[in-house]
Amino acid sequence: MVDPSTKPSEPLMLASGVSGRLSALVSLLLLLRAAVLFVLLPFRRWPRFVPSSSSPSSAAAAAATGEEGAAVSTSGGGGGGKKGGAAAATVVVRVPAAMVAKRRQREQEAAARRAAAVRRVRVAAEREEREEGRCRRDFALMGTARGETLFTQSWAPLNVKTKGLVVLLHGLNEHSGRYDHFARKLNDHGFKVHAMDWIGHGGSDGLHGYVQSLDYAVSDLKAFLERVLSENPSLPCFCFGHSTGAAIILKAVLDPKVEALVKGVVLTSPAIHVQPTHPIVAVLAPVISLIAPKYQFAAANRNGLSVSRDPEALRSKYSDPLVFTGAIRVRTGYEILRMSTYLQQNLSRINTPFLILHGTADLVTDPEGSQKLYEEAASSDKSIKLYEGLLHDLLIEPEREIVMRDIIDWLNSRV
């Protein structure tokens, strides 16, 4: 652990070396070519208008060509048409069968992830009952305003009196179940833990590892907080977030309504200062994220960057099927850059008490961002701990017990 005023000897850049930059440029050129083709695509064929009487045959033709379609009539069969029975025009919208199949595949994959997440909680709950364990496990599904379903779970202490709540938000590409050990530690000290898998992660809906908008995660966190507090009205509530999850929490507490609900936040390796592999990525990302949002940008893949010095912990993380290990998608990367920029511009507005913990050797998020938050935030109750030589995932580093003790000590002093 080092003095808070100490800064790393040189700024951390999220780069993969010269070969990574060349790969990034090649990928960007291919994306630009795809963008041009995408723009020209609408001019290949105009929409076809056919009489409503011919729509059945059109549907049959669509089936014969292997396409699925829908016909929407511009006028009904009642009195709304012209006298004389003029045929009403129908727009035939053809959806390629491959597109429908892809959507079904994504839905099935999300359902399989949810089933796996539910199964894990049930197995853990049965084990706790059988062994008279120290916590009670449970899960719940939460609907969003967008019509999606999110997976949530909880850890409630059994052997000690509950004195506070911790709402936990995981980092990018992982899920809430990765924090089981930490949640149990919090239970031992009287804190009940509620966790949410944000959209596209773990047991929640969405394409795995894809985030259309991090603002969705912010609004979902707000709804989750309200639900947790309505179920536990008399307990003080804290938030814990890691990496991108910490950034989501920071944006949420900028809302005065959320700030009033939360007694404090704990942030590990917050994604406040994140840089792309190449400067041109930041310039083109907004455009490419609109044209090809789900494109996987292999040159920006972060799995090559070590997040822990514990080999066994790394094997456990990356062999977990609920952890997304593919290349980052363009929109997801852009959303992280957008959130990072927003936070850097609004750090002085943060009034919530907080504890920041960051490793000085973090290769994913820059400790300079945490230092900047500590210096600029308006909070009167703020603390920072920098761990010399530690990497990004502090809770799976060899010194994890020290990190957890620092967090619990901070929480205990504020209950």
Query: Would you say residue 6 lies in a domain?
Result: no
Q: Is residue 3 assigned to a domain?
A: no
How does pLDDT run across 359-395, given as a tens digit for each residue? 999 999 999 999 999 999 999 999 999 999 999 999 9
Nearest alpha carbon to residue 197 among 246, 271, 141: 141
Look up residue 299 and give its DSSP letter.
Answer: G
Q: Which two tokens stand for residue 271?
A: 């994604």
Residue 209 scores a pLDDT above 90: yes
CA 369 to chain centre: 20
- Pairwise pLDDT comparison (174 vs 55), residue with the higher score: 174
Per-residue pLDDT tens over the stretch 146-172: 999 999 999 999 999 999 999 999 999
In a domain, 47, yes or no: no
Rg of the chain's alpha carbons, rounded to an integer? 25
Q: Note the pLDDT tens digit of each residue in 104-153.
A: 888 999 999 999 999 999 999 999 988 878 899 999 999 999 999 999 99
Question: What is the distance in angstroms between the CA of the first residue and the CA of the last residue of the chain?
Answer: 25
pLDDT of 72: 42
As to burial, measured by CB atoms within 10 angstroms (0-12 exposed, 13-18 middle, 19+ buried), residue 324 is buried
What does the pLDDT read at residue 190?
97
Is residue 106 included in any domain, yes or no? Answer: yes
Residue 220 lies in a domain: yes
| Separation CA 212–CA 144 (nearest Å) | 14
User: pLDDT tens for residues 10-30?
Assistant: 333 333 333 444 455 445 545
pLDDT of 278 reads: 61
Does residue 415 carry a pLDDT above 80? yes
- Positions of E strands within 57-148: 67-73, 89-96, 135-143
DSSP assignment of 171-220 equals -TT--GGGGHHHHHHHHHTTEEEEEEPPTTSTTSSSSTT--S-HHHHHHH
Answer yes or no: is 265 within a domain.
yes
Which residue range(s) make up the domain with 340? 17-35+100-412
Q: What is the CATH number of the domain that holds 131?
A: 3.40.50.1820
Give CA–CA dist 109/124, Å, rounded.
23
Q: pLDDT higher for 174 or 333?
A: 174
Instruction: Look at residue 185 and tell me if it is in a domain.
Output: yes
Is residue 316 a part of any domain in this protein?
yes
Q: What mean pLDDT do residues 274-302 have?
A: 73
Judge contact between 340 and 273, C-beta under 8 A.
Answer: yes
**Total number of domains constituting the chain:** 1
Asked whether residue 83 carries a pLDDT value surpassing 50, the answer given is no
